[in-house]
Amino acid sequence: MHRIDTCFLSRALAPSIWIALALSICSAQTHAAYSDNVVKIGVLTDMSGPYSDLAGPGAIVAAQMAIEDFVARQKPDFKVELVTADHQNKGDIAANKAREWFDREQVDVVSELVTSSTALAVMKVAKEKNRIALITGAGSSRITNEDCNDVTAHWAYDTYATGNGTGKAVVQQGGKTWFFLTADYAFGQSLEKDTTAVILANGGKVLGSVRHPFPSTDLSSYLLKAQASGAQVIGLANAGADTINAVKQASEFGITPKQTLAGLLMFITDINSLGLKATQGMYLTEAFYWDMNQETRTWSKRFYERHKKMPTMVQAGLYSALTHYLEAVKASHSDSTAVVMAQMRKTPVNDFFTHNGQLRADGLMQHDMYLMQVKKPSESHYPWDDYFVRATLPGAEAFQPLSLSRCPLIHR
């Protein structure tokens, strides 16, 4: 505001001979708010591992679309550049790449960050370097609880929301006894913990759990322990290729249909890979479905033209997060971390991804979630026509309330 007032006074008081100079100075001051007049975005994702289908190359496509659409629509007075890298699902690789980007390449924001261990590692580096982390792929509820910070936004989903939606639905459908098959790292542990709380609150019982290495191709010994538990429901507290392997191997061992599988974090790419015959009737909780309405269909068909797959909530969420970020940069005339984060928090998120999103003080972007049920093959009428939307879960109910937050930013 002080800069704008100074420019106004210069134009008002200077003799005509100085007007051109004053305008030049004002213009330079305005542009100087953007460091080097470039906003540089980094996408750090899993390009070839177990989460590459739900994030990976498709996330890069979504980021490219977000940048192209923003530039075409807003015609900003700054350049937008994109850099990408594969973190290989390793926290140390992710942290080192983020530090290199921040220190040597003047990257302003690191985004996507599928795999909670990589997200938690990069969040710390972002805080140290005073840059922004936009997380769409990682799910651990620790991101906005114990490990929260004021430079991170958690966008698409978290383990509280997915466990809350699917866990509650399955218990209410009669699945009272559970056994967890859990990926042994931050994400799986959070998903098991958050879902357990929902199961117990709704009158269910957890008979036990077993943790498997991440990633795992052979889950047979773990599935046999789940089978031996006699639980009605085997909760899959894993994701991506691990979930796909678990579903396939459970069928091979005759575990299903005697026991029910609950995919606590599944994506439309998983359903497409497994097929409707293997997944029909399953409940899952999503933040986004390509075939929800005309807005989602229009954007998703554009995405499909470039990627040849329909988008997951991670990929659609990344487009939404980066668009909101870029619009905040333009609106605030700055790429300063504190200024942009403040602008993002005060501006509602209103796009094809959500019409009632709000970035909270703990870093969570609160929005509606959706309880889906996978269609039978006979109920699907065209490719990727995979879900019935069984319920809309309002954001205030889907996500952990701030009153239960363990984020230091909320209680300081």
List pLDDT tens digits, range 338-347: 999 999 999 9
Give how many domains the chain has, as a whole number. Answer: 3
Exposed e or buried b per residue across 381-395, where buried means at least 16 C-beta atoms within 10 angstroms of its C-beta = eeebebbeeeeebeb
Query: pTM for the whole thing?
Result: 0.90
Per the CB < 8 A criterion, the answer to whether 173 and 146 are in contact is: no
28 pLDDT exceeds 80?
no
Are 90 and 186 contained in the same domain? no
Are 197 and 279 contained in the same domain? yes
372 pLDDT exceeds 60?
yes
278 pLDDT exceeds 80?
yes
Are 258 and 275 contained in the same domain? yes
Are 301 and 406 contained in the same domain? yes
Q: Tell me, rounded to whole angstroms, the distance of Cα 234 from its chain centroid.
A: 25
31 pLDDT exceeds 60?
no
Are 301 and 229 contained in the same domain? no
Mean pLDDT of 38-52: 97
11 pLDDT exceeds 60?
no
Instruction: Extract the tokens encoding 173.
Output: 């459908």
Mean pLDDT of 95-123: 98
Mean pLDDT of 118-138: 98
**Percent of all residues in the chain with a pLDDT value above 70, rounded to a whole number:** 92
User: How confident is the model at residue 176, as a pLDDT?
Assistant: 97
378 pLDDT exceeds 90?
yes
User: How confident is the model at residue 34, as a pLDDT?
Assistant: 83
Q: Tell me, rounded to whole angstroms, the distance of Cα 393 from its chain centroid.
A: 17
Are 190 and 97 contained in the same domain? no
List pLDDT tens digits, range 292-314: 999 999 999 999 999 999 999 99
Of 17-26, 97-106, 134-143, which gets the smallest average pLDDT?
17-26
User: How confident is the model at residue 54, as a pLDDT?
Assistant: 98
Are 328 and 384 contained in the same domain? no
User: How confident is the model at residue 36, as a pLDDT?
Assistant: 83
Cα–Cα distance for residue pair 50/48, rounded to 1 Å: 7
Per the CB < 8 A criterion, the answer to whether 215 and 241 are in contact is: yes
Mean pLDDT of 32-49: 90
List pLDDT tens digits, range 186-219: 999 999 999 999 999 999 999 999 999 999 999 9
Mean pLDDT of 228-235: 97
> Domain limits at 265?
161-288+370-398
Mean pLDDT of 162-172: 94
Per the CB < 8 A criterion, the answer to whether 120 and 80 are in contact is: no
Report the phi/psi class of residue 56: left, alpha or beta, with left for phi > 0 and alpha for psi in -120 to 50: left
User: How confident is the model at residue 265, as a pLDDT?
Assistant: 95
Are 263 and 323 contained in the same domain? no
Split at pLDDT 50, 70, 90, the class of 412 is low
User: How confident is the model at residue 116, as a pLDDT?
Assistant: 97
Are 324 and 258 contained in the same domain? no
List pLDDT tens digits, range 73-96: 999 999 999 999 999 999 999 999
Are 146 and 168 contained in the same domain? no
DSSP 3-state of 351: coil
List pLDDT tens digits, range 52-64: 999 999 999 999 9
User: How confident is the model at residue 19, as a pLDDT?
Assistant: 35
Are 63 and 181 contained in the same domain? no
Q: Average model confidence (pLDDT) for the chain?
A: 92
The CATH number given to whatever domain includes residue 69 is 3.40.50.2300
Are 242 and 383 contained in the same domain? yes
Per the CB < 8 A criterion, the answer to whether 366 and 349 are in contact is: no
Q: Which residues pair with 237 in a beta bridge?
A: 182
| Dihedral angle sign, alpha carbons of residues 112, 107, 354, 299 | negative
